[in-house]
Amino acid sequence: MNHWMSIALMEAAEGMDRGEGGPFGAVIVKDGEVIARAHNEVLKTNDPTAHAEILAIRKASEALGTFDLSGCVLYASCYPCPMCMGAILWARIPTVCYGASMEDAAAGGFDDAHFYAMIRNPHTALDLRPAGTEKAKKLFERWLAKEDRRLY
């Protein structure tokens, strides 16, 4: 069993046993060292975004002082949900090792496959309405005209 994955599973078990969230853990490794480890804290913090992967990414970017985690590998106890997969993409993490599958998670009461289906067609799951479009578009003109803008 992969050493880093065993840490991710340990995080998951600890968080679950403490009642801090579901059985999910994540570890971020760079150059053979653990940069960040975290477990789901949705129940502890009441924060619906406090998934293990999101918390690990936040810790790793703080530790490394950059939003670019392209040199890192993420180990997750379970296949990441769409929110976490989006965060992984934004963080430019190229490699993800996952333990349980989406099907395993569904059997445990966490139906991420349904979430993936909704993300494919958000308007079927949500009431999504445009508003203030013209003024909102102008923000991007201001952004492109901003001489000191930093890309991320």
Q: Does 32 bind a copy of itself (CB under 8 A)?
A: no
Q: Does 5 bind a copy of itself (CB under 8 A)?
A: yes
Q: Which of 14, 20, 53, 134 is catalytic?
A: 53
* Token representation of residue 148: 């000191």
Nearest to 16 by CA among 44, 53, 54: 44
Site for a copy of itself in 80-109 (CB under 8 A): 81-101, 104-105, 107-109
Using the minimum distance from each CB to a copy of itself, give the nearer residue, 31 or 109.
109
Nearest to 9 by CA among 58, 56, 78: 78
Separation CA 76–CA 11 (nearest Å): 10
62 tagged catalytic = no
Site for a copy of itself in 43-72 (CB under 8 A): 43, 45-49, 54, 57-58, 61-62, 65-69
Site for a copy of itself in 125-144 (CB under 8 A): 125-133, 135-137, 139-144
3-state secondary structure of 124: helix
Sign of CA dihedral 23, 75, 86, 101: negative
